Amino acid sequence: MSRRKLAAGNWKMNGTRAALSELQALVSAHPDPSVDILICPPSTLLRDAAALADTAPLDIGGQDCHSEATGAHTGDISAPMLTDAGATHVILGHSERRENHNESSELVRAKARAAHAAGLTAIICLGESLSEREAANTLDIIAGQLSSSVPDATTAVNTVIAYEPIWAIGTGLTPTVAQIDEVHDFIRTRLITRFGPDIGNGVRLLYGGSVKPSNAAEIFETDNVDGALVGGASLKQSDFSPIIKALEESA
């Protein structure tokens, strides 16, 4: 099954309105991309980013959403609010949210349901810590996160899975291609077992963790890698564009 590749950028808590020039530069550099391009800016930039991307082949996403649509949740943002602001995607269960905000896989699943109900594609992140990898527990951790974080109503359209080993995020460390291959094959097999071949083969699997222009091509050669979730290297068009080009060349 052919899956359209996806280059997704997670700006995290970076960027004021001045950073929109990077988005403009990205739009100008990729007028007709052969892969999907997504930028997830901070919430404060969503409206401006969506307006800028409105007529361009670029999607805009949020970095988190609440599991409820409205209510007394000071500081939170809901899935319908993201849709209203022009987002089409939302990152959920990023390890920084799981760690800094104590988010459980069950909460991530509730958020994914809310995202689906609002018409958003949920990018659900999974990944092991360094100690879990060193204890040879990686696949057990991934299996547990996958079954508890991913809702039953998953489809190839409403869900993307991102494998992001925690020890590789923002550290410059990356797993070997064989390690990425092993985990992505494992996730693919689990998805097929749970959702059947159409959905299981259709859900896109991203790799995330210190992807940069110098290692992107090698990572994208891996069979079940359908793109990347990129943090630091998505902040500047000059860093993100070569990653997008490497993905286009691998497609």
Which residues neighbour 201 within 8 Å (Cβ) at sequence distance 6 or greater? 1, 3, 156, 188, 191, 192
Q: Is 128 a catalytic residue?
A: no
- Buried (b) or exposed (e) across 205-216, using 16+ Cβ within 10 A? bbbbbbbbbebb
- By CB under 6 A, is residue 138 in contact with ligand PEP? no
Distance CA 240, CA 247 (A): 11
By CB under 6 A, the count of residues binding ligand PEP is 13
Helix (H) or strand (E) holding 111: helix 105-117
> Could you tell me where the beta strands, DSSP code E, fall in 24-170?
36-40, 59-62, 89-92, 121-126, 159-163
CB of residue 174 vs ligand PEP: minimum separation in angstroms? 9
Comparing CA positions, the residue from 39, 141, 24, 34 lying closest to residue 87 is 39
Among residues 80, 175, 227, 232, the one that binds ligand PEP under rule CB under 6 A: 232
**Would the CA dihedral through 165, 171, 174, 175 be positive or negative?**
negative
Q: Is 89 a catalytic residue?
A: no
Among residues 10, 105, 121, 138, the one that binds ligand PEP under rule CB under 6 A: 10
Q: Provide the mask over 193-222, with x wherever binding to ligand PEP is found by CB under 6 A and - wherever it is not.
A: ---------------xxxx-----------
Q: Which two tokens stand for residue 146?
A: 């996958």
Q: Which of residues 66-125 bind ligand PEP (CB under 6 A)?
A: none
Q: Provide the mask over 32-71, with x wherever binding to ligand PEP is found by CB under 6 A and - wherever it is not.
A: ----------------------------------------
- Of 26 and 195, the one with the shorter C-beta distance to ligand PEP is 26
Instruction: Using CB under 6 A, list all residues that contact ligand PEP.
Output: 10, 164, 169-170, 208-211, 229-233
Q: What residues act catalytically?
A: 94, 164
